[in-house]
């Protein structure tokens, strides 16, 4: 049986909010990580990393999700968020950490 991780707390940061709602909508629509990745034009692993807060959602992926889910600009409005003082994992936002989120 696969390990199911708990969703991120969307109250911690905007990145966690985005990751939380990406997973929420994917599961609400009954999509697998692979199916969601096909909508976005990315791999299953990329979707997993975005949902885990390890990778940022790109504008074109956000637009594809909003079109598919009918969510208006929910994902698109969050994809261009400014840099925050800390990353979703709470680490300092140094240039090396920042590169891993892009």
The mean of the pLDDT values for the chain is 77
- Sign of the CA dihedral with 67 first, then 68, 70, and 75 last: negative
- Range of 33's domain? 12-75
The number of folded domains in the chain is: 1
Residue 37: closest CA among 24, 26, 52, 53? 26
The average pLDDT across 30-36 equals 96
Percent of the chain with pLDDT over 70: 70
Where is pLDDT greater, at 79 or 81? Answer: 79
pTM over 0.75: no
- Two tokens at 84? 């925050």
**Is 1 within a domain?**
no
**Is 49 within a domain?**
yes
Where is pLDDT greater, at 99 or 53? Answer: 53
**Is 28 within a domain?**
yes
Query: CA-based Rg of the chain, rounded to a whole angstrom?
Result: 13
CATH number for position 28:
1.10.260.40
d(CA 89, CA 13): 10
**Is 20 within a domain?**
yes
- On the question of pLDDT at 33 being above 90, the answer is yes
**Is 30 within a domain?**
yes
Q: Which residue has the tokens 């999509």?
A: 31
């Amino acid at each position: 049986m696969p390990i199911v991780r708990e969703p991120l707390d969307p109250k911690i940061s905007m990145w966690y909010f985005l990751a939380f709602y990406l997973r929420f909508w994917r599961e609400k629509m009954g999509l697998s990580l692979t199916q969601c990745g096909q909508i976005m034009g990315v791999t299953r692993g990329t979707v997993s990393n975005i949902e885990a807060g390890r990778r940022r959602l790109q504008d074109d992926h956000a637009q594809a999700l909003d079109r598919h889910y009918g969510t208006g600009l929910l994902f698109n409005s969050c994809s261009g968020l400014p840099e925050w003082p800390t990353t979703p994992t709470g680490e300092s936002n140094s240039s090396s950490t920042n590169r891993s989120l892009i």
